Amino acid sequence: MTLDPEAVQQLVERTLGHYQSRAEAFWDGTRDHDVSQNIEALLRHIQADAPFAILDFGCGPGRDLRAFAQRGHRVVGLEGAPALADMARAYGGCEVWQQDFMRLALPHARFDGIFANASLFHVPRQELPRVLRQLHATLKPGGVLFSSNPRGDNQENINGERYGAYHDLAAWRVYLDAAGFSELEHYYRPPGLPREQQPWLASVWRRIEPE
């Protein structure tokens, strides 16, 4: 579907409203999720000297912010829902920028890595190329983007109050290639299960410098 800017913003605000009104329930349901596989996938591909500058894109209540900080990295969170941003500051003990994904204001070449865990699938498909270019620009040369999204057959819909776009690997590669990234690896989660029981597609990408 193709949407005008007002309709896109309405989708974003509807999705953020879902998280804002259910912040405590969301935290209770996700605080014990083990995403160490994803954290390590990002960290092992960063070629800078530690500690790394990391952007947790869509950081939610701060679970992964805290995990990166405990490893000694300089991590900044970005979150659109005010209640979740407040929770992330309190729990993660890190700087958190309250920004929605359609109105990003990111510094140029600031970060060694971006951790986009269960967040980019909320970007409307028609807006994804622009958002990915913004993420490319906020990475340092050679920086690394990690993403994990629920996979699908390239459909987009409203699930309850949340917008979601569900890409397969081939389509996801097209978007990332066009935005100036080179694939480093991909895998499906949870590990150790048959593919039909692995709803999450994780991938790691390096920023390519324009010629």
pTM over 0.75: yes
Q: What is the pLDDT of residues 39-58, one digit of tens each?
A: 999 999 999 999 999 999 99
Rounded Cα distance, 82 and 100, in Å? 10
Nearest to 59 by CA among 81, 38, 43: 81
Residue for token digits 């990234």?
181
Mean confidence (pLDDT) of the chain = 95
Altogether, the residues listed in the chain come to a count of: 211
Q: Are 131 and 104 in contact (CB under 8 A)?
A: yes
- Lookup: tokens for 180: 């100036």
Q: What domains are defined for the chain?
A: 5-29+50-207 (3.40.50.150)
